[in-house]
Amino acid sequence: MGKHSPREALVASTQLMPGQVRNRGVVAGTGSHPGVPGIGALDLGEVVRTPAGRHLAIFGDSFTGHTVYAGTHYPSVAVPVVLDIDGLPTFGTPLNGPSHDALFPRPAQAGLTNTLPSGSIEMLDGTTYMLVVGAVDLNPVGGSWLVRVTDNPTDGWTPIPGSWRPWAPNSVPGRANPHPGTAAASHPTQLSGYQDPDGMVYILADAFDRSRPVTMYRVDGPQVADRGAWQPWDGADWGEPGSVATFAVSRTNFGELSFRRLAGRPVLSGFNSARGVWQVELRVGRDPVRIFSDCDPMVVAHNDHGAEPTSLLQPYGGYILPTSTCENVNLFVSQWITSNNSAYRVVQFAARPGRLS
């Protein structure tokens, strides 16, 4: 038999039938070849665009070893990535610089916390904003703040002045209750959004700890970095700028979100964190406000031991890649097998939604 490169093990064909999902293989972290240079275990990997037009994959907690907690720990890493004609990635050397916290310097209010990426907002002019949280034991105790993506992540993406907001838990985390969950009136600590051609930015938001359903905001494009200008959706109309959205647009709690506009349609990939569900779901709608009510979800990755294309133990994430179309949505889905830490990685999936209304 002839020799094949490890990359050829990834599924290159992207021709899918309506309603079909394909697991394209491990692209980064545990078991990946070649993966990310110098990083053997990682998660998330949302791909954002810089002002110059190149792409960076933003990973969360990352380790130089091949399993979680092995080797040197980096809270977040920015990695150059090139997506080929089939949407498969080639990663470059991480650009964080010498400091572990170089990518997301903390504001004073965040204290000594672990800085982690928590979603992004894409603007029509090519600007990208990211939400960052200060976490301890995956509780966003340091609150959240916005940064603007630049061409030089080695300089650090500093907090936008005035964008920090506190986290409000149901109770103070402690030994008796280490993960108390997020209060309904808390500012969001996880989000995703995009600017529509009408100039408005539509933002879906929830909690970093996956304990809240999805809520919604809108804001005029020039004011997107001012969280005091965000208007919450109350189910019937847009509310007072700067107030917290408490109306749930989803029926269940969610985690990671990826909300984008493809071919004029709002497209949402989200991690449904409801007990007993645990799956990455894809929705394609017509109106961003009705993304949950007007369309049925397509399951991309479900927590099970099976042999179906959607079967993946302990999935989460589900970030839409820039090469995606409504007929071929490529996504980075994370996997962390927490029982033995045998896998901590990013798996690429491709999905073609069913008949579009």
Residues 6+ apart with CB under 8 A from 25: 9, 10, 11, 347, 348
Q: Dihedral, CA atoms, 102, 103, 108, 109, nearest 10 degrees?
A: -150
**Separation between Cα atoms, residue 13 and residue 19, nearest integer Å:** 16
Which one, of 34, 120, 24, 62, lies nearest residue 345 by Cα? 62
* pTM listed for this prediction: 0.95
The distance from CA 258 to its chain's CA centroid, rounded to whole angstroms, is 6
CATH number of 104-351: 2.115.10.20
Measured in Å, how far apart are the chain's first and last C-alpha atoms?
47
**Separation between Cα atoms, residue 2 and residue 165, nearest integer Å:** 57
Please confirm whether the linkage preceding 197 is cis (ω < 30° from 0). no
**Separation between Cα atoms, residue 242 and residue 61, nearest integer Å:** 31
pLDDT at 4: 36
Q: Where are the domains of the chain?
A: 104-351
pLDDT at 96: 80
- Whether residue 317 contacts residue 279, with contact meaning beta carbons closer than 8 Å, is answered with no
Which residues on neighbouring strands pair with residue 25, listed in sequence order? 348
**Series of mean pLDDT values for 10-residue runs along the chain (357 residues):** 46 78 98 97 98 97 96 95 96 81 91 97 98 98 98 95 99 96 98 98 99 99 99 98 98 99 98 97 97 95 97 99 95 98 98 82
Residues 6+ apart with CB under 8 A from 45: 28, 57, 58, 59, 79, 317, 319, 332, 334, 346
**Separation between Cα atoms, residue 334 and residue 178, nearest integer Å:** 23
pLDDT at 15: 83
- Whether residue 43 contacts residue 29, with contact meaning beta carbons closer than 8 Å, is answered with yes
pLDDT at 295: 87
